[in-house]
């Protein structure tokens, strides 16, 4: 009857109204509250995902700003970009597009 000995040790703790109230309060916070523990973990993961996405877009913005600065300062690069991206040509030129 080892179970009865354990129950005799636990029962006074369960019988104490302060400990019981504290346990119910903790249970409420962890499981049933609007911002419970499970939702917090999901939100923390979402925050980390959004922060990594923010870093990715920040790197893209920096690369685009560098490319824009290069296009504004160097006319040869601007002409090359216009020819490659928008198929622009001079008045006396013919363009042949080779597709592989």
Listed by start position, the domains of the chain span 1-33, 35-90
Q: Is the pLDDT of residue 10 over 80?
A: no
pLDDT value for 94: 81
3 — pLDDT class (breaks 50, 70, 90): low
Q: Where would I find the H helices in 1-100?
A: 2-15, 17-27, 37-73, 75-86
Overall pTM surpassing 0.85 (yes/no): no
pLDDT value for 7: 65
User: Which residues touch 31 (CB under 8 Å, ≥6 apart)?
Assistant: 37, 38
Mean pLDDT of the chain: 85
CA distance 7 to 3: 6
Residue with tokens 């490319």: 67
What's the residue count for the chain? 100
Q: Is the pLDDT of residue 1 over 60?
A: no
User: Which residues touch 77 (CB under 8 Å, ≥6 apart)?
Assistant: 70, 71
């Amino acid at each position: 009857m080892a179970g009865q000995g354990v129950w005799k040790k636990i029962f006074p703790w369960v019988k104490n109204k302060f400990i019981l109230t504290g346990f119910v309060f903790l249970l409420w916070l962890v499981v049933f509250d609007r911002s419970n523990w499970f939702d917090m973990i999901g939100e923390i993961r979402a925050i980390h995902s959004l922060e990594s996405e923010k870093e990715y877009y920040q790197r893209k913005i920096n690369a685009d700003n560098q490319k824009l600065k290069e296009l504004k300062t160097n006319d040869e690069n601007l002409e090359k970009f216009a020819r490659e991206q928008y198929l622009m040509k001079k008045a006396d030129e013919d363009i042949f597009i080779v597709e592989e």
